[in-house]
Amino acid sequence: MKLSRQSVVVVGGSLGIGYAVAELAKRQGAEVTLLARNAERLRRAAESLGGVRHAVADFGNEAAVNRAFAELPAVHHVYVAAGTAMPGGFLDRSVDDAMASFVERVWGSAYVLRAAAPKIPPGGSVTLTGGVSTDRPFPGAWSTVLGTATAEQLARVMALELAPIRVNAVSPGYTDTPMWDRLLGGDRDAVLAGVAAKLPTGRIATPEEVAEAVLLLMTNGSITGEVIHVDGGGRLV
Ligand SMILES: NC(=O)c1ccc[n+]([C@@H]2O[C@H](COP(=O)([O-])OP(=O)(O)OC[C@H]3O[C@@H](n4cnc5c(N)ncnc54)[C@H](OP(=O)(O)O)[C@@H]3O)[C@@H](O)[C@H]2O)c1
């Protein structure tokens, strides 16, 4: 029970990696709060975790983020899973349109850090989310690639700005979450099987495996400014 009586906020906690972090933190004794946009999905997630605290908030909306954190009595650890993957080639849409996903992720992470920091005691933590594309960029989602890479660097600089609060990032490779249902539709299984075949581990990660890395970042008091990779060796191939 490494998180006994600790308050853990998961921004983007109703699905995928965020939900897995919430579930694991709760199993470790944490009092969990979920934030996300879709109220019905959030309600279902909170209920399946045994009725945890939850609130609708878009992390790209500073006022909504401030309101959600103001209502919390205490915050020890925060995990930011929220972020939109925006597919599309560089020449397909205007720079302003494409950068919406970058702005949402980077501004949103900064809003969360600013709202949470005054409430987090020394040694508490914030974990942001990057991605394997920082080291292995791919075409077809350029602003998202910039966004996750910036989130990793934001964690490193905030580890200095906000010390002694610890700030880290988890960098997932391809992970089996509902995000791929939305992005790939009926091609999902074939595309992910193709990716898995090239990985040293021979399979893509589960959300629970990424969550285990996030829990390590929350609970190890000497880790800060770190980017931990859970990518099946994807950076090497
Ligand atoms: N899955 C992968 O292979 C992979 C790989 C590398 C990086 N990542 C990154 O890891 C993170 C989690 O990915 P995932 O696959 O678990 O995604 P997911 O299954 O789509 O879940 C995303 C969660 O974030 C919430 N969310 C999205 N935008 C939000 C916003 N603006 N404000 C508040 N909540 C928001 C969603 O709920 P609502 O939609 O209701 O808000 C949902 O709870 C993302 O940042 C993603 O880019 C994923």
pLDDT by position in tens, the chain (length 237): 899 999 999 999 999 999 999 999 999 999 999 999 999 999 999 999 999 999 999 999 999 999 999 999 999 999 999 999 999 999 999 999 999 999 999 999 999 999 999 999 999 999 999 999 999 999 999 999 999 999 999 999 999 999 999 999 999 999 999 999 999 999 999 999 999 999 999 999 999 999 999 999 999 999 999 999 999 999 999
> Smallest Cα–Cα separation from 127: which of 165, 167, 156, 162?
167
30 CB-near residues (< 8 Å, 6+ apart):
3, 4, 6, 7, 8, 76, 77
Cα of 200 vs centre of ligand 1, distance in Å, is 25
Q: State residue 154 phi and psi, 5-degree precision.
A: -60, -40
Ligand 1 proximity of 17 Cβ (cutoff 6 Å): yes
Ligand 1 proximity of 38 Cβ (cutoff 6 Å): yes
Q: What pLDDT is recorded for position 130?
A: 98
Q: Which of 145, 174, 177 to mutate to test the pocket of ligand 1 (most atoms within 8 A of CB)?
A: 177
Place of tokens 């490494």: 2
Cα-based angle 33, 133, 154 (whole degrees, multiple of 5)? 55
Cα of 16 vs centre of ligand 1, distance in Å, is 7
Cα of 120 vs centre of ligand 1, distance in Å, is 23
Q: Which atom of ligand 1 is nearest to the CA of 205?
A: 3
Q: What pLDDT is recorded for position 36?
A: 98
Q: Which atom of ligand 1 is nearest to the CA of 13?
A: 43
pTM flag (> 0.85): yes
Q: What pLDDT is recorded for position 58?
A: 98
Ligand 1 proximity of 104 Cβ (cutoff 6 Å): yes
- Calpha distance 35→56 (Å, rounded): 6
Instruction: Identify the residue whose C-alpha is closest to ligand 1 atom 7.
Output: 131
Cα-based angle 117, 38, 79 (whole degrees, multiple of 5)? 30
Cα of 18 vs centre of ligand 1, distance in Å, is 7
Cα of 228 vs centre of ligand 1, distance in Å, is 18
Q: In what order do the strands lie in the sheet with 125-129?
A: 53-56, 31-36, 7-11, 77-80, 125-129, 166-172, 227-230
Cα of 7 vs centre of ligand 1, distance in Å, is 21
Q: Which atom of ligand 1 is nearest to the CA of 20?
A: 16
Q: What pLDDT is recorded for position 146?
A: 98
